[in-house]
Every structure is written in structure tokens, then in C-alpha cells.
Amino acid sequence: MAQSYNGWSAAPGWSVKGGQLAALVIAGEPFSPGVRAGDVHTVLQYVAQQLHNRVEPVYKPGFHAADDWGYAYRPNTNNPSQLSCHASGTAIDYNATRHPNGKGGTWTAAQKAEILRILAEVGNVVRCLWGYDEMHFEICAGTAAVAAVANRLRGAVSPTRPPASGGLAYEPFQTGAKAGSRVVKLGSAGDDVKTVQRWHGLEADGYFGPQTEAKVKATQTRNRLAVDGVVGPDTWRVMGIGTAPAPRPPAPAPVKILPAPDPVLAFRADHGQRGAHITRLQEFLVRTFPEYAKWKPTGYYGDSTAATLREFARRVGIKGADGRNVGPQIAAALARHGFRG
């Protein structure tokens, strides 16, 4: 049987009805006509769903709606002497009209960093063709490796064993541990540790090792907390997780003079604006979140600022924010992280 260039078997005429393919639909958008059924489908579905949730929506007004593709028995566009991975149902094209073949740099730095995190979450058995075909995500490992990842995504296997630790003893892995529900530190293990690692841009294996501790200490330093590497209530709040700070005690005696509005909660900004207030916002983002604000303040609210705010909103649990404006929710979250407008 013929093979695509990644080593997977390929043949013409595959279909969902025939059982070789399984439909892949994200937010109502089909990756027509589907992808290889079984483990490949499980892995590519996870990647596509995370791209939609965390990087770029699968549909955007003004762009072609049906630009997400799966199986197609054809030669490789960039090397016609080989069969495309689409021919084996082991590849998808995501938002093709926004990331056309032959063009590089179609994802922002923040988007690329998040894509790399998503690919790490599937053990890097999927790759993107950076620099020339950035719509394209293909399986790049064999059946055994893909099956292991698919089983993990389905919850069919227990968490992985702790990484090599140089003598560090980890606690038993706390499956289902909710972020903010306990103190985690060096040696902790669980799903809540994964939240800490994702927030800090690390590969999320759920084991709190020296690298995670170093990132936590850096966050504590930036936010003027006790620098101990332990994620307790104050550090959880900096991450936008857990209970809000205790309210201030009421003023003694009724005072008739109303206080001025808090400048942070009153702060608003929109994509396309310029001004000193935008500069202050950008300086805060670059200073406080260097992991995903890798640009210089300009005073203009452009796509880089929007991408950083979208990533910030995702990490603090604000759903559906596209980063193109600073409204009450994002302003309040920025305030919790020390922004004063």
C-alpha cells in the first residue's frame, strides 16, 4: 500500500461512511471530509480544539469559512514526488486563508508559543510546518507513540511517572486536584500543578520540580510577594485563581463624601487607540508578563498588545476574551496583578 511521507498508509477513496475516516468538527466548522479514524482522530481533534480555544478561533468574519481541511489523496504540494500526509488522513489544515502555503510568520510570537505548548501536550507527535506552510499540522510519529498519546487524552492510562529528579521525592499524583484548593510546592504532584505550569509557559507534566519553582519565584519577585517558591493563597491570586482579597474594613462613622472612582477599575482601552494610557498598560504587561509580552511599548494598541491581553485573559480564566479591548473584567484582573492605570 502507498504511504504518505510520514510513513502512514494511504489510499484513495477513503470516507467516513467507509470507516477509514472520522468526522472532525470544531465549533461547527468541519475539517472536510474528516481525518483518519481512531488514535489519529483523537490526537488531531485535541490539537484543533486547543487551537480554537487558546490561539485563534476556527472562524473569523471576513475570511473564508470553509478553509479547514482533512483527508485528501494527493501529492505533497511542496514536494510532488511524495504523497501528502493528507493522503493518509494524518494532517489538517487550520484556517488556511489566514495562514497560506508559501508564507511564513503568519502567527504572532505569542500564538506560536501557545501552539508549541499545545504540541508539547500531545508529546510532539504533531508538528506545524513553520516558515512556509503554517496552516498545516501533521502526525510526525509512528502508531505506538500516537496510540500512547491518544490513550492519555481519553483518560485510559494513569498519569506519567515523575521525571528524573536528582533525589527529589514527589508526593502521589493528585488527579482532579482543583487549582487554588491547596498549597503546592517543590515535590507536589497533581492536576493543579499542571495549572501552575501552564500559567508560567512550561510543559505541563503535573510534577512541581526545580524549573517550576524557579518560575514561581520569579512571579513572586515581580509581584512583591514572599519569594519562597510556594504557591499559596497570595500566589494563586496573582495567577487570578482562588478567593479575592479580603475586603477592607468599613469606614468608622458614616461619611457623606463619596470617594473618587478607583482609577484601575475605571481604566478602559480599545484596539487601535494611541496615548499615554496605552503606553502605561504596555509597560506593565512587558514588565509583569515577560514570558508572553515580548515586544516594546509603543503607545499604540495593536495586534501584539491584543494577543498578550488575550493570553492574559485565558490564564486568569476569563473566557471568550479576544484581547481587543480592556473592559471591566480584564481591568479588574489587571488590578489584582498590580496595575494602577
pLDDT digits (tens, 9 = 90+) for 276-310: 889 999 998 888 888 778 889 999 999 999 999 99
- CATH of the structural domain 160-238, one choice from 1.10.101.10, 2.40.50.100, 2.40.40.20, 3.30.540.10: 1.10.101.10
Instruction: Specify the pLDDT at position 65.
Output: 59
For the chain, domain boundaries = 21-148, 160-238, 269-336
Collapsed DSSP state (helix, strand, coil) of residue 169: coil
**Domains 160-238 and 269-336 equal at CATH topology level:** yes
The CB-side HSE value for 21 (13 A sphere, CA atoms) comes to 29
- Residue ranges of the alpha helices (H) in the chain? 39-50, 109-121, 143-153, 191-199, 210-222, 233-238, 276-288, 303-315, 328-336
Decide: 307 and 111 in contact? Cβ < 8 Å.
yes
- Section 17-25 average pLDDT: 92
The amino acid present at 341, given as its one-letter code, is G
- The pLDDT tens digits for 121-158 are 889 999 999 999 999 999 999 999 999 988 888 764 44
- Distances in whole angstroms, Cα of residue 271 to Cα of each of 278, 302, 307, 323: 10, 6, 11, 8
This prediction's pTM: 0.49
CA 261 to chain centre: 34
Domain 269-336 belongs to what topology?
Answer: Muramoyl-pentapeptide Carboxypeptidase; domain 1 (1.10.101)
Instruction: Specify the pLDDT at position 165.
Output: 54
Q: What CA–CA distance (Å, rounded) separates 47 from 26?
A: 10
